[in-house]
Structure 1
C-alpha cells in the first residue's frame, strides 16, 4: 500500500513533543515518522507522544518504527506514548502483542500526564 503520510509537530515545549500523524503508515512513508521522532528525541525531551487518531493504515514497517522509537526513547531516558489508536491500527498493534510493550493511551491529554 502506498498513501501519503503527514507528520506534524502538535506541541513542543522542550520537555514534551506531540507528533500528529495522518494517513497511511507503510513502508514507503515510515521514514517520515522515524525522522521526526528521532529529531524530537535528539532534542532532549522527556516524553514523545504520537497522536494516531488520523492514521488509516499501519503495516509491519509502521510497527517496526514504533518499536524503534520506543527503544530509542528508553535509551535516552525518555518515554514514548501512543495515543488515540483506532482500528485498524489498534487491531494490528494488539494482534502482535505490542500493546504489552508500548504505552497506549485513549487520548492525547491522557498521554501527556507525566
Structure 2
C-alpha cells in the first residue's frame, strides 16, 4: 500500500511539473509577443516622416494675413443641344466663365419657410 501512495504522489508531481512547464511556456510566449510589438512600433516610428520643428513651420506673409473675397457670381448657362456635351465643350471651368453679379446681396430664406428639406411644409414656392 505504501508503494501505491508513492506512485500516486509521483504521478501528481509529474502533472504539477507539466502544469508549471505550460505556465512558463505561456509566459514566454506572451513576453515574446509583447517584445515583438514594442520592436515593431519602434520601427514604424523611425520610418515615419518627422514632425516639423518650429523653424520649419509656415510663416505669415509680409503683407499680413490673406483675406478671402466673397462675391456673388452670375451662373454660366449650359448651352442647349440635342447632342451630348462633353466637359471640354462647356464654357469656362470654375470661375473663368462666370461674371461678377450686379447684386452682391446674399439670398435669404422666406420668412414663412423653414428652409429645411423634408420639413413637410409646402415650401417657399
- Band the TM-score falls in, shorter-chain normalisation: under 0.3
Provide the TM-score with structure 1 as the length reference.
0.18
Provide the TM-score with structure 2 as the length reference.
0.17
Q: Which one has a bigger Cα radius of gyration?
A: 2
